[in-house]
Amino acid sequence: MPAPAGAPAIEVAHLVKHYEVHHREAGLLASLRSAFSRKRESVPAVSDLSFQIAPGERVGFLGPNGAGKTTTLKILSGLLYPTSGRVRVHGYDPQHREAGFLKSVSLVMGQRHQLYWDLPPVETFALNAALYGVPEDTFRETLGELVELLSLQGVVEKPTRQLSLGERMKCELVCALLHRPRLMFLDEPTIGLDVEMQVIVRTFIQQYNERFGATVMLTSHHMDDVTALCSRVIVIDHGRIQYDGDLGALVRRVCPAKQLVLKLAQPVPRERLAARAEVASLTEAQATLRVPQEALRTVIPQLLAELPILDLSVEDPPLEQVLRELFAGASPLGGPAA
C-alpha cells in the first residue's frame, strides 16, 4: 500500500536479522562428520535498528566490513526477510514484493550486474522499459538524456562483455534509472572504478537526486563518495547504530581537531613542528598537523612567522580517519545522535 504524502520514504523500527551459518573445520574427518551431522550457529547481523529517511534525502550508511550495512540494504529492497522488526519503504512492506514497490526503487550493487553479458546494453534497456511499464516515448527521451549525461554514445550498442568496467558501470546506472525510481539503494557503486569514473558517478547521482528529488541510500568504503553526496550519515557497527546525524557534526565530535596542511619551501625538523602542534605526518615538502579549532588563531600566525611555508590550508580530518578512530573505540560517541 503506497504511503500518504509527507510520510517518510523509509521507516525502520527495531529491525533484527540473524543468519544461520554452518560451521565446518578443515580436513577429511571434518568433511565426513559434516555429511552426517552439521553444526549450525545463529549469527546476528542486525540488532535492533531503528531509523527514518525522508523523501529526497541523501544518506550515507557507514560501517566496517560485517557491520550489517548490506544486510540492511537487502532487507529494505525486499531481498531478505527480517528476523523481526518493522520495515516500510514508500509505505510498502518490501517482503511482499508488490509491483508498486519494485517500480519505485532501484538497487545498484557495484559487484552485481543486470545487463545481459552477450548482448548490447541497449537490449537490456528496452527490456527494463517494458518490464517497468515505461511508455515508449518516455523511454526514448530518458535514454537519450542518460546516454548524453554519461557520455555513452557509441557504447550502448556494443556487447556488454566488450565494455570496460567504467562503461559497464555507467550502463548499469542507466538500467537502474530508466524507470525513474523514487529511491535508489547504492551498494558500493564506485568499487573498482578509477578516480575519474568515481567523480562522474558521484556527480551523476547528485544531479539525479536534485532534479527528481529521489531518495538516495548509499554504502561505500570510498569516503569521498560519502563526503561528496551525503550530509547525513548513519554509522552502524556490530549490527547497531552508533551514530545517526549530520556528517560534519560526526567529524567534529570524533575528531575535534582540524588538520593544517603545510607546503614547505625546505625540510623542517619534526621537533620544531611538534613544539607548536601534534604532527600527523611529515615529509621534506609537506607537513600535516592536528590543531584544536580554538587554537588555530594563535598557532597559524606562529607557524607562518617561524617556518618556511609556501602554502597553508585548514581541513577537516579525512572521514577514513574519523571512522578508524570511531571503530577503534578511541572516540566513543555515547549513543546515536538525535
Partner 1 sequence: MTPWQERRRAYLAMLRVEFANATHYRATFLVFALQSTMPLIMLAVWWAATEDGPIRGMGPGDFAAYYLASLAVRQITASWLVWGMNGEIRGGGVMMRLMRPVHPFLAYSAESLAQMPLRLLAALPPMIFALLWLGSAHFTRDPLLLGLFLVSLAGAWLCEFAILVTIGTLGLLVESSIAIYQVWLGVHALLSGYLIPLTMIPEELRGAVALLPFRYLLSFPIEVLLGSLSRGEALRNLGVQWAYAAGFLGVALAVWRAGLRRYQAYGG
Q: Which residues bind partner 1 (CB under 8 A)?
A: 19-20, 70, 74, 77-81, 95, 97, 99, 102-103, 105-107, 109-114, 116, 118-119, 123-124, 126-133, 135, 187-188
Question: Is the CB of 25 or the CB of 136 nearer to partner 1?
Answer: 136
Q: Least distance in Å: CB of 135 to partner 1? A: 7
Question: In whole angstroms, what separates CA 268 from the centre of its chain?
Answer: 39
Given the complex with partner 1, which of 176 and 268 has the nearer CB atom? 176
Q: Which CB atom, from 47 or from 77, has the smaller least distance to partner 1?
A: 77
Sequence-distant (6+) residues with CB within 8 A of 293 are: 256, 257, 258
- The least CB distance from residue 103 to partner 1, in Å, is 5
Closest CA to 236 of 222, 252, 223, 219: 219
Output the smallest distance, CB 92 to partner 1, in A. Answer: 12
314's enclosing H/E stretch is strand 309-315
Residue 221's CB: how many other CB atoms inside 10 A?
Answer: 17
Q: How far is the CB of 61 from partner 1 (least distance, A)?
A: 14
Nearer to partner 1, 133 or 308 (CB): 133
Closest to partner 1 by CB, 19 vs 212, is 19
CA dist., res. 325 & res. 322, Å (int): 5
- Report how far Cα 223 is from the mean position of its chain's Cα atoms: 8
Q: Smallest distance, Å, CB 249 to partner 1?
A: 29
* Residue 297 burial (CB count, 10 A): 8
Q: What are phi and psi of 332, to 5 degrees?
A: -65, 145
